[in-house]
Amino acid sequence: MIKVFLNGSSGQMGQLIAKNIESYDDMQIVGKKDKDVFEKGEQFDIVIDFSLPEGSKEAFQIAKQNKAAFLCGTTNLSHNFIQALKSEKEIPVFCAPNVSIGVFLFSRLLKEAVQKYQGYNFALHEEHHAKKKDAPSGTAKSLAAFIGFPEEKITYVRKGKVPGTHSLTITSSVGDEEILLQHKALDRNLFASSAVKIARWLVNQKGGFYTMENFVK
């Protein structure tokens, strides 16, 4: 039985993750934390964190104190905290601004496109639901860093209930052709189901830092 402590349990992602965990016979939520809730029952194997940056720091300490794995899908983390996660050796730690396998493969496609289309102009744009607090998104920032695109030039829109759309537009220098590469999440459950799959994998890893690249392999 994989026992889970869920941080950010009342958020949209937290609720979806809880539903996904319920679909497994060998997984169980034994503790949860949010701004107004802190419930901790028996010992757990992993802390799953989809919250806010300050909440992630607390969740990481909870994981370390209980010698449990730590999966962090929270975005807009500070550089210092990310470095602390990368330096962890005692417990398995996974951190990614986007846990979708499709987004991971999309990032590799973008990198190849940027390398192939020398001399072309690039524009990176993202759209998310109106309630998303960070802008540009952590995923957009990660994509920009990966392909060498200036973060300050990312454009974004917050509207409706859009789960998440990221696009790279490639335009020739003379304006005679345009290529659009896009990843569109159609349902937020995409991220929740992927997070649970990663959690099931992470509990079997040795202490250290892991990313989507490790998981996809």
Report DSSP state, residue 107: H
- The tens digit of pLDDT for each residue in 93-126 reads 999 989 999 999 999 999 999 999 999 999 999 9
Report DSSP state, residue 123: E
- Catalytic residue among 125, 132, 141, 183, which? 132
Q: In the predicted model, what is the mean pLDDT of the chain? A: 95
Of the CA atoms within 13 Å of residue 5, those in its CB half-sphere come to 30
- Across the range 187-193, mean pLDDT stands at 95
Percent above pLDDT 70 for the chain: 100
Q: Which of the four CATH numbers 3.30.310.10, 3.30.70.1560, 3.40.50.720, 3.40.50.10680 does domain 2-99+190-216 have?
A: 3.40.50.720
57 catalytic per annotation: no
Query: What integer pLDDT is reported at residue 40 of this predicted model?
Result: 77
Give every CB contact of residue 214 below 8 A, 6+ residues apart in sequence.
94
In the predicted structure, residue 63 carries a pLDDT above the cut 80? yes
Shortest CA distance to 168 belongs to which of 109, 125, 113, 135?
Answer: 125
Contact 132, 185 (CB under 8 A): no
* pTM for this prediction: 0.88
Query: What integer pLDDT is reported at residue 207 of this predicted model?
Result: 98
132 catalytic per annotation: yes
* Sequence ranges of the chain with CATH classification 3.30.360.10: 101-186
* Sequence ranges of the chain with CATH classification 3.40.50.720: 2-99+190-216
Three-class SS of residue 148? coil
Query: What integer pLDDT is reported at residue 25 of this predicted model?
Result: 97
- Across the range 58-76, mean pLDDT stands at 96
Contact 66, 40 (CB under 8 A): no
CATH architecture of 101-186: 2-Layer Sandwich (3.30)
CB-neighbour burial class of residue 212 (10 A; exposed 0-12, middle 13-18, buried 19+)? buried
Report CA-CA distances (Å) from 176 to 114, 116, 120.
18, 17, 11
Confidence of residue 65 (pLDDT cuts 50, 70, 90): very high
- Catalytic residue among 32, 57, 128, 183, which? 128
Give every CB contact of residue 166 below 8 A, 6+ residues apart in sequence.
103, 106, 124, 125, 126, 137, 139, 140, 143, 182, 183
Contact 151, 145 (CB under 8 A): yes
In the predicted structure, residue 37 carries a pLDDT above the cut 90? no
